[in-house]
Structure 1
């Protein structure tokens, strides 16, 4: 008997973190009547995949929620109840960038996002929903604007992998203070958290997708929204709700955004560790042990050979 394969795709677009065609799932029938599901992704970094069956004959399976990190691999295999017959199935899936049940270290100490001994004025950023749509402030919202006296190099604050780079926008437009069309570098950290460095100068990126960066690794150059200004905006967050239900397969972008929790990071500041105070100028400094904290022995040797 031939079974009709029906594949339903339901893709999530969330804060530009998950986009169409980042992840693809395929299924393959085997000679023993089992069916193996595979994933492929053309984007580095971690994704949570949610797969559900809307039709399933001669097999039993609950919905699948799984974190994937490699470029391709096996998700799972369906086994027939009656091994002499094939399996009939139809499925859909969704995905989000991040790690399911990420164990984020909120006590981690970061370096300031610019070169040693450089300075910047720090200002807190409003959530755009609060500022422009009169919504209540998100309790976990935290984001920073770093303002420089002149164009300056932006550096990584922690070791991680570059999982996304956008380098195509001329940010400056008269009267503009915010735009979703901005150049940025997105870095995923070991604990599943992300750092997004945005408002970077077009054509001045120093990293690409898949690169490994370390504290003080140059990643780009400060950009601007206004004439004669130089800035960079920093946002740290992680996926805190990666659970799906059939009833929420059509969540709105706003509802999906609530799946992420923002981090108010601790920074190293001339021998002290603390959160950044608003409207305060900070000069970057570091200790070798902070830079080396997440490095392997091989990475340390490579660093000191330079």
Structure 2
């Protein structure tokens, strides 16, 4: 293979997002109502069978003779399990009343401001030097407008084949894709991965993992520095870890709104940068895992227990 062509191919791979594969384990969020025969009130509830919060928007249309307990359309976050949303009551008992409703459910919590800043550790072993590349969607690089990927950004860590990938922040495993092995260049859009939901409503994805190497289960709470799996490889390409963080941004509520994610640039702690700074693309950093980062999202009781270990 021509070395120059090989380099061009590597750059191309860096810009191919894999978030589209992260939705396969989602389960349907249901919004239903229950009618009280005594009062004529319709009580709306959401049932979320997933492992993280979802944002639901409920549009009520063609309303006749009813009033809502909240401003419509209803938009709110629902945790796993059942959540009461709002109610519709007849404006006058005994008179005709009717309505129709439709809803959407999107993974994540709808932020009203940018998420709070948390520090991340590099997803490699402490003391390991790692070269970092910051990437964007190919459409943005080439000047092709794509609303879904406008804010896409990812960090690519160049590592060695078989290296262990570690959790950069505490969270709950909400998605894992395993058992896929790359066999050709056309497969670069596929990836084994782990997706983790953080307490602040953001999501982190660790992609390009080795088939059959994942060490965590769905619903498992992982701590900073916990092994997630091993680094995989693509034919003819150097091994890398693709890491990205996203969230649902504040938007103007509209009927049947489809919410879009924003990818944020996380701040890291490393030996070769000021703590709490952004990584600079093209530089090499040495990983560190200070106790204050391991415990930054633990309760006082959890910290006390951890320090006794």
Name the counterpart of 1:205. Answer: 214
Q: Secondary structure at the match of 2:103?
A: strand
Q: Indicate whether 1:47 and 2:58 are aligned.
A: no
CA contact (8 A) 1:196 1:235 kept: yes
Structure 1 match to 2:294? 291
Matched residue of 1:79: which SS? Answer: strand
Q: How many residues align?
A: 282
Would the aligned equivalents of 1:115 and 1:284 in 2 still touch at CA under 8 Å? yes
What are structure 1's unaligned runs of at least 5 residues?
1-13
What is the distance in 2 between the residues matched to 1:182 and 1:228? 14
Q: 1:60 to 1:22 in 2, by over 3 A?
A: same
- Residue 13 of structure 2 corresponds to none
2:161–2:233 CA contact under 8 A, matched in 1: no
Residue in structure 2 matched with residue 81 of structure 1 by the alignment: 91
Q: Partner of 1:120 in structure 2?
A: 130
Question: Is this contact kept in 2: 1:159–1:212, CA < 8 A?
Answer: yes
Q: Is 1:158 aligned to residue 158 of structure 2? A: no
Q: 1:63 aligns with which of 47, 58, 73?
A: 73
Q: Contact between 2:22 and 2:195, CA under 8 Å: does it hold in 1?
A: no
Cα 1:36–1:278 change in 2 (3 A) is: same
User: Hey, what's the Cα distance between the residues in 2 that align with 1:105 and 1:15?
Assistant: 22
Note the C-alpha offset of 1:113. Answer: 0.9
Q: Does 1:233 align with 2:258?
A: no
Shift of 1:24: 1.1
Question: Is residue 268 of structure 2 the alignment partner of residue 267 of structure 1?
Answer: yes
TM-score, normalisation: structure 2: 0.80
Distance 1:21 1:193, change over 3 A: closer
CA distance, structure 1, for counterparts of residue 228 and residue 286 of structure 2: 19
Gap runs ≥5 in structure 2: 1-18
User: Partners in 1 of 2:132 and 2:54 — Cα distance?
Assistant: 32
CA change 1:215–1:103 in 2 (3 A) is: farther
Partner in structure 2 of residue 8 of structure 1: none
Give the corresponding residue for 1:6.
none
Pick which of 118-127 and 91-100 moved more: 118-127
Deviation of the 1:85 alpha carbon: 5.0
Deviation by residue 1:14-61 (Cα, 9 ceiling, x = unmatched): 946667743111111112211111111221111110001123232123
**Superposition CA RMSD, Å:** 2.7
CA distance, structure 1, for counterparts of residue 252 and residue 21 of structure 2: 19
